[in-house]
Amino acid sequence: MKDAIHGGQQLIGSFALSHDPSIVGVANSAGLDFLLIDGEHGLFSEELISQFIDAGRGLEISILLRCTTERLGDLPALFDHGLNGVIVAGAKNALDARQIVSHLKYPPVGHRGLNPFVPAAAYGATNRELFMREQNDETTVWLLAENQQLLDEFDDVCAIPGLDGIFFGPYDLSIDLGVPGQVDHESVVQAISLARKVIQSAGLGAGIFASDPVAMAAWSALNFRLLTIGFDWSTLHTTWSTWVRSYKAHGE
């Protein structure tokens, strides 16, 4: 996943709020590149997240988690279990961002603790040094950018070793910019567009949420590489409601 992003590919995924790990197989079959578990707004225990990770073993799809800084202590264990990446919300400045990355990366980049007998290390079969190097290289750590203060320190944020990308939360950012819910407002679009240029210059990936294919196409044109469209529940609701309206209109 990291190689694809840094190679300039655009990856398409969706958020998961449901608690059924079998949705991982559905997402993989549909061709999604990743499934993003919403641990910030959804109720996901470590055990449930581990079931999603297990459901993705052997498949092409990557399993990511969005969570807040309050859950930072849970993340090393989830990476040990095989989580592919995380998007952490709550960083207010470059210092916060640096501490997040340090907590999730092994030395010399960070100070994550080592247990070489976990699933991600093939239960002890992987060489310790190789495991640490592979985890640093292959697991992906992103920050959720949703406040102006963090954007103001973007030059410093994007220079942090071990950081792979920035994911924009347009809804919370719109609140911080004084235009709540207006994700297509000029001030929101301009702030994101300017920040994306800094990200691209630093060689990092840029990701964003889109509520529908039209919005996704607009962000895609700006070279966002991690495109997350919709939620599993909302996608199902939209599909079912479209069918119902179509049937009733035809019946009338």
Residue 72, classed as helix, strand or coil, is helix
Q: What is the pLDDT of residue 183?
A: 86
Q: What's the rounded Cα separation, in Å, for the pair 221 and 214?
A: 11
Measured CA distances, 94 to 88, 143, 154, 192 (Å): 13, 11, 8, 17
Q: What is the pLDDT of residue 251?
A: 65
pLDDT tens sequence across 221-234: 888 989 999 999 99
Tell me: pLDDT of 219 over 90: no
Q: What is the mean pLDDT of the chain?
A: 93
pLDDT tens sequence across 174-213: 998 999 989 889 999 899 988 999 998 999 999 999 888 8
Q: How many residues does the chain have?
A: 252
Q: What is the pLDDT of residue 1?
A: 82
Q: Comparing 76-80, 117-121, 184-188, which segment has the lowest mean pLDDT?
A: 184-188
pLDDT band at 91 (very low <50, low <70, confident <90, very high): very high
Beta bridge mates, 228: 13, 209
Tell me: pLDDT of 87 over 90: yes
Q: What is the pLDDT of residue 214?
A: 87
Tell me: pLDDT of 248 over 80: yes
Q: What is the pLDDT of residue 116?
A: 95
pLDDT band at 98 (very low <50, low <70, confident <90, very high): very high
Amino acid at the residue 222: L
pLDDT tens sequence across 125-180: 999 999 999 999 999 999 999 888 899 999 999 999 999 999 998 888 999 899 99
66-75 LR contacts (CB < 8 Å, sep 24+): 66/15, 66/36, 66/37, 66/38, 66/39, 66/40, 66/144, 66/167, 67/39, 67/40, 68/39, 68/40, 69/96, 69/100, 71/39, 72/100, 72/103, 72/104, 74/46, 75/103, 75/104
**pLDDT > 90: percent of the chain:** 77
pLDDT band at 236 (very low <50, low <70, confident <90, very high): very high
Alpha-carbon dihedral angle through residues 132, 36, 88, 213, given to the nearest 10 degrees: 130
Tell me: pLDDT of 96 over 90: yes
Beta bridge mates, 156: none
Q: Catalogue all structural domains in the chain, each as residue range(s) with its CATH number.
A: 2-251 (3.20.20.60)
Q: What is the pLDDT of residue 222?
A: 83
Centroid of chain to Cα 174 = 19
DSSP 239: H
Tell me: pLDDT of 235 over 80: yes
Q: What is the pLDDT of residue 252?
A: 58
Q: What is the pLDDT of residue 8?
A: 82
